[in-house]
A = this chain, B = another copy of it.
Amino acid sequence: MKAALLAAVVLMTPLSLFADPLPSWNQSASKERIITFVENVTDPNNAAYVTPDERIAVFDNDGTLWAEQPVYFQLTFALDRLAEMAKADPSILTTPTLEAASKGDLQAIAEGGHDALIEVLNASHAGTSVEDFQTSVADWLETARHPDTGLPYNQMTYQPMVELLRYLRDEGFRTYIVSGGGLHFMRVFAEDAYGIPPEQILGTYADTTYDSSNGTPVITKAPGIAFVDDKEGKPINIERTIGRRPILAAGNSDGDFAMLEWTTAGDGPRLGVLIHHTDAEREWAYDRESPIGKLVDGLDKGPDMGWVIVDMARDWDRIYTGGE
């Protein structure tokens, strides 16, 4: 009888008490602080307890959940798509910028600045239905491979972060992406890659138009950018879309500073997490001087604000979900 009772207790004990919820994280202060935070806010007997409704965790994507070097993966998609569209109809390359972009000439786009980028985005992202656009992203993910790792882009997700997302959901959190990347682009892979459904993805977006004049309503992506989900745009979008202040925010660049600042300035227990790219061997090492993922404010002010600064080289046992 006692054995049966013990068995029942064991069966009813959450798995998290036995298994390491973050196996790809090395034992470190970072890991310890994250786990302690989660244990505190989920323990009804702890003063830091937070009801499940308010357990909102927000994550940047590029450089936080997956890699972002040598350029944002969505830009690689844009160039690849432009090249493919030009193969079918070369007349779409109406400007020197688009000509250069279709040949993968990143330098030309960098020199053209914001206008060149918009030109490339418009040609590769706009004027198509959301459905067709997302099919093209799915097709690209099937075939495209990263030039350095040879991996499909959606396998260059960070395994330690995939585990953190799952751990948080297991503990009653809702996990959101809040990224400067494109909303429609991310929705194609985020559910499979991270377990994050479409309605929990916030990103940069263009306007869309609704047209039912031919009998079947279609929503089409318009040119330009209507909302940039970066810097102050992140807390603004969170407030507008979620309507609650998160209790955990994770990012990796100064584009995430306002999101972490707003999150951790709230009352009660809050956690800010910054991923510091320190691993030139297994990934890339970059921060203050990097044109992509530039991180200055976070390093200067984050520690004093109590944020966990994750040292990728030190804290992560494994980097990518894909690969051996």
Measured CA separation A188–B267 after assembly (Å): 20
Measured CA separation A242–B197 after assembly (Å): 9
Residue of B nearest to A208 (CB): B236
Q: Mark A205-232, 1 if CB is under 8 A from B, else 0.
A: 1001110100011010000000000001
Whether A243 contacts B198 by the Cβ 8 Å rule is: yes
Residue of B nearest to A187 (CB): B243
Which one, A6-14, A116-124, A257-265, is touching chain B?
A: A257-265
Number of interface residues of A (CB under 8 A): 29
The 3 closest A-B pairs by CB, nearest first: A198-B243, A210-B232, A199-B242
Measured CA separation A262–B210 after assembly (Å): 9
Residues of B within 8 A of A201 (CB): 243
Whether A199 contacts B244 by the Cβ 8 Å rule is: yes
Measured CA separation A92–B217 after assembly (Å): 45
Copies in the complex: 2
Does any Cβ of B come within 8 Å of A296's Cβ? no
A-B residue pairs in contact (CB < 8 Å), sample of 21 = A53-B197, A183-B240, A187-B243, A197-B243, A198-B243, A198-B244, A199-B241, A199-B243, A201-B243, A205-B240, A208-B239, A208-B240, A209-B236, A210-B235, A210-B258, A212-B262, A212-B265, A217-B262, A217-B265, A219-B235, A219-B262
Residue of B nearest to A202 (CB): B241
| Minimum CB–CB distance for A252 against chain B, Å | 20
Interface residues of A, Cβ cutoff 8 Å to B: 53, 130, 183, 187, 197-199, 201, 205, 208-210, 212, 216-217, 219, 232, 235-236, 239-244, 258, 261-262, 265
Residues of B within 8 A of A216 (CB): 265
Residues of B within 8 A of A241 (CB): 199, 241
Whether B258 contacts A217 by the Cβ 8 Å rule is: yes
Residue of B nearest to A265 (CB): B217
Known contacts being A53-B197, A212-B258, is A219 close to B243, with CB within 8 Å?
no
Residue of B nearest to A199 (CB): B242
Most B CB within 10 A of own CB, among A130, A205, A242, A243: A243
Residue of B nearest to A241 (CB): B241
Whether B235 contacts A217 by the Cβ 8 Å rule is: yes
Measured CA separation A282–B187 after assembly (Å): 46
| Minimum CB–CB distance for A22 against chain B, Å | 26
Residues of B within 8 A of A197 (CB): 53, 243
| Minimum CB–CB distance for A176 against chain B, Å | 9
Residues of B within 8 A of A209 (CB): 232, 236
Measured CA separation A209–B216 after assembly (Å): 38
Known contacts being A217-B258, A261-B212, A262-B217, is A239 close to B130, with CB within 8 Å?
yes
Residues of B within 8 A of A130 (CB): 239
Residues of B within 8 A of A243 (CB): 183, 187, 197-199, 201
Measured CA separation A116–B287 after assembly (Å): 50
